[in-house]
Structure 1
Amino acid sequence: MKFGLQLGYWGAGPIVGAPELVAAAEDSGFDAVFTAESWGSDAYTPLSWWGSSTQRVRLGTAVAQLSARPPTSLAMAALTLDHLSGGRHIIGLGVSGPQVVEGWYGQPFGAPLARTREYVRIVRDVLARAERVTSDGDHYPLPYPASAAGATGLGKPLKAITHPLRADLPVWLGAEGPRNVAQTAEIADGWLAVFFSLGLAEQYNTWLDEGFARPGARRSRADFEVAANCQVVVTDDVAAAIDRYRPSTALYVGGMGAKEKNFHADLYRRMGYGAAVDEIGRLFQAGRKAEAVAAVPDEMVRETMIAGTFDEVKTQIAQWESAGVTMLMVTARETETIKALGRLAG
Structure 2
Amino acid sequence: MGQLQLGYTTGYWSPWGPPTGVEDAIAEADRLGLHSIWSAESYGSDAISPLAWWGAATKTVKLGTSIIQLSARTPAMTAMTAMTIDHLSGGRFICGLGVSGPQVVEGWYGQSFRRPLARTREYIAIMRDIWARRGPVTAPGPQLPLPYAGGGGRPEPTGLGKPIKSNLRPVREDIPVYLGAEGPRNIALAAEICDGWLPLFYSPQHEDFYREALDAGFAVDGARHTRESFEVCATVPLIITDDVEGAADFLRPMYALYFGGMGAKGTNFHADVAIRMGYEAEVDRITDLYLEGRKDEAAALVPTSLVEQLALIGPREKIDHDLDAWRDSQVTTLLVGGDAATLRTVAELVLG
Q: TM-score, normalization: structure 2?
A: 0.95
The match for 2:76 is 72
What stretches of structure 1 of length at least 5 have no aligned partner? none
- Aligned mate of 2:13, from 7, 10, 13: 10
* Closer/same/farther in 2, CA of residues 243 and 146 from structure 1, 3 Å limit: closer
Are the counterparts in 2 of residues 186 and 219 from structure 1 also a CA contact under 8 Å?
yes
Are the counterparts in 1 of residues 62 and 92 from structure 2 also a CA contact under 8 Å?
yes
Write out per-residue CA displacement over residues 122-169 of structure 1, whole angstroms, 9 at most, x where no aligned residue. Answer: 111111111111101111110011776241100000011111111111
CA separation in 1, counterparts of 2:128 and 2:51?
21
What amino acid is aligned across from residue 115 of structure 1 in structure 2? R
Deviates more, 1:213-222 or 1:303-312: 303-312
- Aligned mate of 2:276, from 270, 280, 292: 270
Aligned-pair identity (%):
51
The match for 1:341 is 346
In the alignment, structure 1 residue 315 sits paired with structure 2 residue 324: no
CA separation in 2, counterparts of 1:326 and 1:315?
18
- Aligned mate of 1:230, from 236, 239, 246: 236
Write out per-residue CA displacement over residues 185-218 of structure 1, whole angstroms, 9 at most, x where no aligned residue. Answer: 0000000011001232111111111111110000
What amino acid is aligned across from residue 96 of structure 1 in structure 2? S
Q: How far off its partner does 1:313 sit?
A: 2.4
Write out per-residue CA displacement over residues 168-189 of structure 1, whole angstroms, 9 at most, x where no aligned residue. Answer: 1100001111111111100000
CA separation in 2, counterparts of 1:34 and 1:305?
18
In the alignment, structure 1 residue 85 sits paired with structure 2 residue 104: no
Q: How far off its partner does 1:112 sit?
A: 0.8
Q: Give the secondary structure class of the aligned counterpart of 1:8.
A: coil
CA separation in 2, counterparts of 1:180 and 1:143?
27
Are the counterparts in 2 of residues 122 and 135 from structure 1 also a CA contact under 8 Å?
yes
CA separation in 2, counterparts of 1:7 and 1:103?
25
Write out per-residue CA displacement over residues 271-309 of structure 1, whole angstroms, 9 at most, x where no aligned residue. Answer: 111111111111111111111111111112112012344
Are the counterparts in 1 of residues 190 and 217 from structure 2 also a CA contact under 8 Å?
yes
The match for 1:292 is 298
Are the counterparts in 1 of residues 149 and 156 from structure 2 also a CA contact under 8 Å?
no
The match for 2:224 is 218
Q: Give the secondary structure class of the aligned counterpart of 1:130.
A: coil
Q: How far off its partner does 1:260 sit?
A: 4.0
Runs of 4+ in 1 over 4 A off after TM superposition: none
Are the counterparts in 1 of residues 247 and 314 from structure 2 also a CA contact under 8 Å?
no
* Closer/same/farther in 2, CA of residues 232 and 29 from structure 1, 3 Å limit: farther
Q: How far off its partner does 1:259 sit?
A: 2.4
What amino acid is aligned across from residue 25 of structure 2 in structure 1? L
In the alignment, structure 1 residue 40 sits paired with structure 2 residue 57: no
Instruction: Please give the residue correspondences for 1:245-284 in structure 2 after superposition, counting only pairs within 5 Å.
Output: 245-284=251-290
CA separation in 2, counterparts of 1:70 and 1:317?
39
The match for 1:244 is 250
Alignment size in residue pairs: 345
Instruction: Please give the residue correspondences for 1:48-197 in structure 2 after superposition, counting only pairs within 5 Å.
Output: 48-145=52-149, 149-197=155-203
CA separation in 2, counterparts of 1:251 and 1:238?
21
Deviates more, 1:16-25 or 1:75-84: 16-25
Q: Give the secondary structure class of the aligned counterpart of 1:107.
A: coil
Are the counterparts in 2 of residues 125 and 133 from structure 1 also a CA contact under 8 Å?
yes
Deviates more, 1:302-311 or 1:323-332: 302-311
What stretches of structure 2 of length at least 5 have no aligned partner? none
CA separation in 2, counterparts of 1:228 and 1:196?
7
Q: How far off its partner does 1:27 sit?
A: 2.0
The match for 2:34 is 30
Q: How far off its partner does 1:240 sit?
A: 2.1
